[in-house]
Amino acid sequence: MRLGGRVRSHRFEWTAAIIAMTAAAGFAALAWCLSLGALTTFDEATRAAMHSYADPVLTFLMRAVTLLGTQPAIIGITGGAAALLFLKDNRDGAWMISIALIGAEILEVVLKVQFHRQRPEPFFDTVLPGSYSFPSGHALFSLCVYGLLAWIVAPRLGGTGRWAVRIGAIALILAIGASRVYLGVHHPTDVIGGYLVSVCWLATLLAIRGPVPATEP
Q: Mark out the alpha helices in 183-213 (DSSP H runs).
A: 188-209
The DSSP letter of residue 156 is G
Q: How confident is the model at residue 79 (pLDDT cuts 50, 70, 90)?
A: very high
Residue pLDDT, tens place only, 100-130: 999 999 999 999 999 999 999 999 888 888 8
Distances (CA, A) of 65 to 26, 61, 172: 27, 6, 8
pLDDT score recorded for residue 216 = 45
- The reported pTM is 0.90
The CA distance from 181 to 207, in Å, is 32
Residue pLDDT, tens place only, 139-195: 999 999 999 999 888 877 777 888 898 999 999 999 999 999 999 999 999 999 999
Q: At what angle do helices 3-35 and 188-209 cross, to 10 degrees?
A: 150
Q: Which amino acid is at 103?
A: G
pLDDT score recorded for residue 213 = 54
Give the E-state strand segments of the chain in sequence order.
none
Return the closest-CA partner of residue 28 out of 93, 91, 20: 20
pLDDT score recorded for residue 189 = 98
The CA distance from 41 to 47, in Å, is 10
Residue pLDDT, tens place only, 29-47: 999 999 999 999 999 999 9
Average pLDDT, the chain: 89
37: left (phi over 0), alpha (psi -120 to 50) or beta: left
pLDDT score recorded for residue 126 = 85
Positive or negative: CA dihedral 64, 65, 66, 67: positive
Q: How confident is the model at residue 6 (pLDDT cuts 50, 70, 90)?
A: low
Return the closest-CA partner of residue 190 out of 200, 203, 180: 180
Q: How confident is the model at residue 209 (pLDDT cuts 50, 70, 90)?
A: confident
pLDDT score recorded for residue 85 = 87
